[in-house]
Structure 1
């Protein structure tokens, strides 16, 4: 699957439905046929995967030893609340209320593409997260990616 790109502001209607933005929909051609999957993120946001990407995640989880309590807790947390999303004829998806409540998502939403998934944030929480960017992003980049990048003088 190609990596997804973009950031999109959306509004939820009174029923919790969200229109998939046109720019994102173009990147998700399989969504109409296979649907999407949504579940809790690692922090207070939700994550949307294509069905094929979700299946890859489940394949990874199925290799873990379920008799190890830590593994079982992770599997339970990661898969708990996972829900299939099928776009309706108008291109909307219904986001589960329990997941919206978990993430504290109101009517204003920001969709942020992160490699092969889409993070779903409450707009205010997203703004706060962005405003808490490290003072020196270059230091973070060096700490995370420094050992992976080839140095020019090598």
Structure 2
């Protein structure tokens, strides 16, 4: 499986449409045929998945025991606002208004590729999030990845 790569500054037009940057579009060959799905992120941002990746995620969600309230709540919150997106003839996507309001998106956005998904942030919120980078990133890497048994060079 390939992962998305890149960080892109984009602008929305007056109708809430955004042109997909050409270098990102090249990474989304199935998007025109299969479509994309957008939903809320865990922080105040949005997340775009390919339809194939979304189907994998919802497949995992469908295995949860929905007789347990925490799991039902998680599924509700995670899928809240999930919407299929499609590219128009000008390679633009239209963001749903409710999701834009949730993420505080107005005109300037940052698309941040994160492995199997593309995060969509209001530019100000993304800059604030990235300004919180730990002073010693190496310590965070050790905490998160140190016991994984492999390094980044493996």
Question: Which residue matches 2:44?
Answer: 44
Distance in 2 between residues matched to 1:96 and 1:150, nearest whole Å: 41
Q: Give the Å deviation of 1:80.
A: 1.0
Structure 2 residue 36 is matched with structure 1 residue 7? no
Length-normalised TM-score, structure 2: 0.96
Structure 2 residue 18 is matched with structure 1 residue 18? yes
Distance in 2 between residues matched to 1:46 and 1:28, nearest whole Å: 18
Distance in 2 between residues matched to 1:84 and 1:51, nearest whole Å: 8
Distance in 1 between residues matched to 2:130 and 2:65, nearest whole Å: 36
Question: Which residue matches 2:139?
Answer: 139
Residues 1-154 of structure 1 aligned to structure 2 (within 5 Å): 1-150=1-150
For 1:28-63, what per-residue CA distance to the aligned partner results, in whole angstroms no more than 9, with x for missing partners? 000001110000000100000000000000000000
For 1:82-140, what per-residue CA distance to the aligned partner results, in whole angstroms no more than 9, with x for missing partners? 00001000000000010000011110000000000000000011111111101110000
Distance in 1 between residues matched to 2:117 and 2:9, nearest whole Å: 16
Distance in 1 between residues matched to 2:147 and 2:113, nearest whole Å: 25
Distance in 2 between residues matched to 1:83 and 1:14, nearest whole Å: 20
After superposing on structure 2, the runs of 4+ consecutive aligned residues of structure 1 that deviate more than 4 Å are none
Tell me, which stretches of 5 or more residues in structure 2 are unaligned? none
Q: CA RMSD in A?
A: 0.9
Distance in 2 between residues matched to 1:49 and 1:120, nearest whole Å: 11
Tell me, which stretches of 5 or more residues in structure 1 are unaligned? none
Secondary structure of the structure 1 residue equivalent to 2:90: coil
